[in-house]
Amino acid sequence: MSDAVQIFLLSLLAMFNPTLLAVVTLMLLLPSPKRLMLGYLLGAYTASMTLGLVIVFALNDSDFAGTSKRTLSPLEDIVVGSLLLLVAAVLATDRDQPLRERRVRRKEAKLEKSGGEEKEALPMRLLGRGSPRIAFVVGLLLSFPGVSYLTGLTHIHRLDLAAVPTALIVIAFCLVQQMLLELPLAGYFFAPDRTEGAVKGFRVWLARNGRQAGIGVACVLGALVLIRGIAELVS
């Protein structure tokens, strides 16, 4: 599988971000959702695109990256592919149930201490103020690199393209990564009534099938990346 295909798949994997989904859901329930989502999106773009460009061009200028590319690339693929398959296996066999139960118990303990009132996380409380400027800051703070993002940047570096194409691919990766926010935002501008119904339907679907979707994406991507790494290592 080519690096370009892996970059696209990783951008899709990065898109399924529970934090982003929770933030979008909250903003859709607040007054002036368009202004809030636009502010958050600009903040997310600023953080993800700036960090992405800095990281990729830093890798391009690194002597270490140039001298060890052939050795590290297959090993990186094998490690990342194995981790993705491990995540898929854990989710598929429900072995993360003890962790989920501990989270539920901690949440219940916090509710008991607070007298039954659930205290939202700080970013959610800030978004609840309804300020696009605050939404920009929250988007900036919540858009730091994750595993899929960093792995995608590694594959972009491997393409070994000129500066302009590399920058465009980084920007495209960041655009795909924020599609959970971009699609409802565009819909609210062009078809607000239909978009609201579609967003509600998507939330219901994700609540029912999000785990299965995550298992499928992690399994397919992990297998493809692992096969690529082994093939490069033995060749």
What is the DSSP secondary-structure string of 69-99? HHHHHHHHHHHHHHHHHHHHHHHHTTTTHHH
In a domain, 118, yes or no: no
Domain extent for 196: 3-27+47-93+144-234
In a domain, 186, yes or no: yes
pLDDT at 72: 46
Higher pLDDT among residues 3 and 55, named by residue:
55
pLDDT at 138: 84
In a domain, 132, yes or no: no
Confidence of residue 189 (pLDDT cuts 50, 70, 90): confident
Q: Is pTM beyond 0.85 here? A: no
Contacts of 36 (CB under 8 A, 6+ apart): 27, 30, 127, 130, 132, 135
In a domain, 82, yes or no: yes
In a domain, 213, yes or no: yes
Average model confidence (pLDDT) for the chain?
78
Torsion, Cα 38 42 43 45, to 10 degrees, reads 130
User: In the predicted model, what is the mean pLDDT of residues 54-74?
Assistant: 60
Return the SS3 of 119.
coil
Confidence of residue 45 (pLDDT cuts 50, 70, 90): very high
pLDDT at 1: 57
- Domains: count for the chain: 1
The 8-class DSSP code of residue 31 comes to S
In a domain, 58, yes or no: yes
In a domain, 170, yes or no: yes
